[in-house]
Amino acid sequence: MGMNKTQLEHLEYILDTAQDMISDKYVKGAEEHQSVLSEDYTAEQILDMALEEAVDQITYLLTLKQKMSDGK
C-alpha cells in the first residue's frame, strides 16, 4: 500500500531537518572541543556523555510537559 504524498513529504522534512541538526551540532562540538569524538574519547567517556545528555533530555521534556499542562 505504501505511504501517501503527505506522509512522504513529512518524512522528507523529518530526515532533512534531522540531518541538518546533526551536522550543525557535530561541527559545533568539534570546533568547541577541538577533538574527534570517535578518536579522542574512550567508550566509557562517550557512554558517560550520552548519559548526561539523556538526563538533560528528560529534564527538558518534563519541563515542557509541565509548561504545556500549566498553559504557559
Q: Does position 72 have pLDDT exceeding 90, yes or no?
A: no
Distance CA(25)–CA(37), nearest Å, equals 12
Please indicate, yes or no, whether residues 21 and 10 belong to a single structural domain of this protein: yes
* pLDDT above 90: percentage of residues in the chain: 96
Note the pLDDT of residue 1: 82
Q: Mean pLDDT in the chain? A: 95
pTM: 0.73
Please indicate, yes or no, whether residues 1 and 28 belong to a single structural domain of this protein: yes
Please indicate, yes or no, whether residues 45 and 72 belong to a single structural domain of this protein: yes
Distance CA(14)–CA(17), nearest Å, equals 5
Note the pLDDT of residue 66: 96
Please indicate, yes or no, whether residues 4 and 18 belong to a single structural domain of this protein: yes
Structure confidence by residue, pLDDT tens digits, 17-41: 999 999 999 999 999 999 999 999 9
Please indicate, yes or no, whether residues 31 and 53 belong to a single structural domain of this protein: no
